[in-house]
Every structure is written in structure tokens, then in C-alpha cells.
Chains A and B, each alone.
Chain A
Amino acid sequence: EPEVTQTPSHQVTQMGQEVILRCVPISNHLYFYWYRQILGQKVEFLVSFYNNEISEKSEIFDDQFSVERPDGSNFTLKIRSTKLEDSAMYFCASRVRNTEAFFGQGTRLTVV
């Protein structure tokens, strides 16, 4: 069964460093998303991406964040200069159109 895959599963980084979280969405999907979940809190929307551009972003998604689809398969989230409060689980999701969104297993980002 097709699935969304994310790498790495766990990333530890020093405060101020750049990190890139990678996702391979399901191949025929058109809409791509990043969400985050701080430990013990709700899943929060970060950004949606369609037709090679950002279609919507939340207040959390400030200038430190960027997304890219560098080729036909990968979808990446970059955090330019990580802060302690960026520590969270980051989930990638994809969907065909106005249908179910399927989530990856997540990347646990720990900023020290």
C-alpha cells in the first residue's frame, strides 16, 4: 500500500543550526502539507503546497521556515536557524484533492 515516508525519524541539532526534514509523498498525490506536534499538544498546521508553490501557511511558518519540492518525488521542510521551541514531531501529509490526507510517521526534531 502506498505510504508517505519521512526521513530522518529522529534529528538532534544544536540551536541556531539549519535542518532539512525530508518527505516522499504518495506518488499520484497533488497536495502536500507539513504539520507539527509539540509533545503533549495538538497537531498544528504549518504549510500547504500545491502546483509548486505555497498555497497557505500558518502564523507558525515564519521566515525561518521554507518548503521545496526539488524534484518529482521529494518534499522538504527547512528550518534555517533552529530554536529550542522548534523541538517537536514534524509530520508530512499528502492528498489527491479534497480527499483524505495520509500522514508520514514523522520526524522527531530535538533542538539542544
Chain B
Amino acid sequence: TQLLEQSPQFLSIQEGENLTVYCNSSSVFSSLQWYRQEPGEGPVLLVTVVTGGEVKKLKRLTFQFGDARKDSSLHITAAQPGDTGLYLCAGGKRDNQGGKLIFGQGTELSVKP
């Protein structure tokens, strides 16, 4: 069974602080995607990483894919209240059918002004 473990599950911080969310697995993935989900809405794609060691930046968000493609991290610099939400990592495998995504359980982030 492929599992993605996200940590922490809940994070409450003050505006301006930095934070890192981790996504770990014992399985190798061909790609790893990070989504953000608002209550009652669908996951919205933030980024996809595909190469081991890859780092991608999206404004104050930095995403990294582990060298062995088993883990990933999301770092947010100077968090703002608008960053509040549920962050999901999802791993995909390359196969002929397109491959399902395996989701982590999510990290609920609350940024207080």
C-alpha cells in the first residue's frame, strides 16, 4: 500500500513567521504535486515537481522534491493570513493508464494576524 505521510497535521502560527510542511513516503513517485484546498472546494494545484532534488519557487512558497523522489517539502516564508488553508501533497506514478494520485492527509495551516 502506497502511503504519503504529511506533517504536521495542524499548524497555527503568527503572521510573518516561516514554516515547513513535510510529505514523506517509502515509495518512489514519478511526480509529486502540491495542492491547496479551501473548505467546500476542490484542490487547486500549486506546483508539480518531477526531478529528484528539484526546487521550485512560487512567490513566498518553496517546494522541494527529495533526491530519491520519496519525499517533498513546502516552505512558506513570512506567512500571511491569506495563506491559511489545507495543503495537500499527492504522489503520482508513471504508468500506461495515467496513474492515480495518492494523497497525504493534509496540513491545516492557520496564520493569525
Footprint of B on A, CB under 8 Å? Answer: 4, 6, 30-31, 33, 35, 41-45, 48, 50, 55-56, 89, 91, 93, 95, 97-106, 108
Name the B residues within 8 Å of A4 (CB-CB).
42
Q: Is B40 in contact with A108, judged by CB distance below 8 angstroms?
A: yes
Footprint of A on B, CB under 8 Å? Answer: 30-31, 33, 35, 40-45, 48, 88, 90, 92, 94, 97-106
With A30-B98, A48-B99 given, name 14 new contacts (CB 8 A): A6-B42, A35-B101, A42-B103, A43-B88, A45-B102, A50-B97, A56-B100, A91-B43, A95-B98, A98-B30, A101-B33, A101-B101, A103-B44, A106-B40
Name the B residues within 8 Å of A108 (CB-CB).
40
Q: Is B41 in contact with A106, judged by CB distance below 8 angstroms?
A: yes
| Cross-chain pairs A/B with CB under 8 angstroms, 15 sampled | A33-B101, A41-B105, A48-B99, A48-B100, A50-B98, A56-B97, A56-B100, A98-B30, A98-B31, A98-B94, A99-B48, A101-B92, A101-B101, A105-B41, A106-B41
Complex Cα distance, B49 from A3, in Å, reads 21
Interface centre among B44, B88, B99 (most CB of A within 10 A): B99
Complex Cα distance, B98 from A4, in Å, reads 17
Contacts A91-B42, A91-B43; is A100 near B48 (CB within 8 Å)? Answer: yes
Q: Is B48 in contact with A97, judged by CB distance below 8 angstroms?
A: no
Q: Is A42 in contact with B106, judged by CB distance below 8 angstroms?
A: yes
Name the B residues within 8 Å of A45 (CB-CB).
100-103
Nearest B residue to A55 via CB reads B97
Q: Is B97 in contact with A48, judged by CB distance below 8 angstroms?
A: yes
Complex Cα distance, B48 from A44, in Å, reads 19
Name the A residues within 8 Å of B99 (CB-CB).
48, 98
Contacts A102-B45, A106-B41; is A33 near B103 (CB within 8 Å)? Answer: no
Distance in Å: Cβ of B110 to nearest Cβ of chain A: 15
Q: Is A31 in contact with B48, judged by CB distance below 8 angstroms?
A: no
Q: Is A42 in contact with B105, judged by CB distance below 8 angstroms?
A: yes
Complex Cα distance, B51 from A85, in Å, reads 39
Name the B residues within 8 Å of A41 (CB-CB).
105
